[in-house]
Chains A and B, each alone.
Chain A
Amino acid sequence: MLFGPLIGSLLYMAGGFKAPFIVVGLILIVSTFVLSKVVPHETKHEIVERFNASHSIEVQNSNGKDSFWQVCSIPYISLTIIATAACEMGLVFKEPIMQLRLLHDFNLNIGIVGVIFSIDVLTFCGTCFILGRIDEKKKPFHRLIAAGLFVFSLAHLLSGPSPWIFPDSLGILITGSLLLGVGGSFIKTSSIASMHQTYTFLFGKTTPRAQNAIASVNCSGQALGQIVGPILGSFMTDWLTYRLAFFISSIMFLVFAIVFTMVTNCEEKRRRGGILDQKYTKMPSENNGVQMGE
């Protein structure tokens, strides 16, 4: 998603309006055939479970909490969805407004605009690689999400750049874009893993149906952010100014980051309590099948 503007502007310069659509469209159609050959067929267990689900037969392994809305109703998962939506919102907030600002206020050409749009990609890719290593070892998913929200707040403050605090400079705007990539990677690498972690903690394991539900829930969270981001960006810029719009969104991120941190700290304490309860109430052999979140 973050590479899109760079690809779009390069193809647009090379072949006009049609080129980006034709190239990406053809890539996707070719990918369809590749995927049909490469993606494996489902396992026997998955086919049985799907058959049971489509014929309303209760699945033996199901814990009754694996539909889309049931997964959404788990409080910590719903908070993570909001964080995912906020992350997407923060990333695409600039999409409809930054082009005109860079073209008219900073007198840049369309190629440079595409490059600036894609600056956050560099930091996003780099940070994702590092975070992947940290996530594998320590699994501090909710802390990374909270950190990502704080970074987003700072990034939006710089992306304006915010009036009263920073001068109107292209350098500060680019620094903001760099930080957007960092914040985005913090949240995106952790959100789906965090939801799986919570689900596993609550129900002991995930079923294929629960995996489908979590993937769909994450997708809808992203979509929600993508809906709100451009609309909010264009309307706020229309009513206020570009710089003020980013300043207000920065405050929104700061407030949400604080709320998220407070809630996750409570959740963490509750989980620790849950682990202790299970330690003292179950025999070691009974604990074997239960995978704790942390």
Chain B
Amino acid sequence: MLMSSICLTIFAANSAYSSIAPFYPNEALAKGVPPYTFGLIFACYSVAMFIASPLVNGAMNKYGRKKVMITGCLCEGIAMLAMALIDYTDSGVAFALLSALCRMVEGTGNACLNASASAII
């Protein structure tokens, strides 16, 4: 039960990273976002994850793996829901900036979730 719950959560969380790949570039292009920024927007997720990883290690030692895991999962879930709302923006710049911001929050959440899950397993 524990393993399957963690695996399913990791499955959903990691698919959040790449699920936008098949449709996001076209949508962003339609909103007026320049193509060369796609890579940067995609990478925001990982930049946040990379920066957060050493901090997550400290947080796990201080607050425990379970709390870090739950916080990360909630953080990533809320950021995903927030990303659905950026469709309402008409400006290309706002679309790109809000996408980048949501991706950063998702990445931070994923760092918490992935590191704590690996440590628990």
Interface residues of B (CB under 8 A from A): 1-2, 5-6, 8-9, 11-23, 25-27, 35-36, 38-40, 42-43, 45-47, 49-50, 53-54, 56-58, 60-66, 69-70, 73-74, 76-81, 83-85, 87, 107, 111, 114-120
Chain A residues in 8 Å Cβ range of B77? 25-29, 31-32
Chain A residues in 8 Å Cβ range of B69? 35, 39
Does B12 contact A24, Cβ atoms closer than 8 Å? yes
Interface residues of A (CB under 8 A from B): 1-5, 7-9, 11-12, 17-18, 20-22, 24-29, 31-32, 34-36, 38-42, 46-47, 50, 53-54, 67-69, 92, 95-96, 98-100, 103, 110, 113-114, 117, 192, 208-209, 211-220, 222-227, 230-231, 233-235, 238
Q: How far is the CB of A170 from chain B (nearest CB, A)?
A: 16
Does A36 contact B61, Cβ atoms closer than 8 Å? no
Does A53 contact B80, Cβ atoms closer than 8 Å? no
CA distance A22 to B47 in the complex (A): 23
Does B87 contact A17, Cβ atoms closer than 8 Å? yes
From A17, A35, A46, A215, give the contact of B64 (CB < 8 A).
Answer: A46
Does A28 contact B16, Cβ atoms closer than 8 Å? yes
Chain B contact surface mostly: helix
4 residue pairs, one from A and one from B, having the closest CB atoms: A4-B18, A28-B77, A8-B19, A25-B80
Does A24 contact B118, Cβ atoms closer than 8 Å? no
Q: How far is the CB of A192 from chain B (nearest CB, A)?
A: 6
Whether A219 contacts B56 in the complex (CB less than 8 A), given A28-B80, A227-B46, comes out as yes
Does A212 contact B57, Cβ atoms closer than 8 Å? yes
Does B119 contact A17, Cβ atoms closer than 8 Å? no
Does A212 contact B5, Cβ atoms closer than 8 Å? no
Does A212 contact B62, Cβ atoms closer than 8 Å? no
CA distance A160 to B62 in the complex (A): 46
Does A216 contact B53, Cβ atoms closer than 8 Å? yes
- Chain A: CB-nearest residue to B83: A21
Does B19 contact A5, Cβ atoms closer than 8 Å? yes
Does A21 contact B80, Cβ atoms closer than 8 Å? yes
**Subset of 13 A-B contacts with CB under 8 Å:** A12-B22, A20-B20, A24-B15, A25-B78, A25-B81, A28-B80, A38-B2, A39-B69, A40-B2, A42-B64, A50-B61, A95-B42, A231-B40
Does B64 contact A50, Cβ atoms closer than 8 Å? yes
Q: How far is the CB of B74 from chain A (nearest CB, A)?
A: 5
Does A31 contact B50, Cβ atoms closer than 8 Å? no
Chain B residues in 8 Å Cβ range of A100? 25
Does B21 contact A216, Cβ atoms closer than 8 Å? no
Chain A residues in 8 Å Cβ range of B74? 28-29, 32
- Chain B: CB-nearest residue to A85: B50
Does B46 contact A24, Cβ atoms closer than 8 Å? no
Does A41 contact B66, Cβ atoms closer than 8 Å? yes
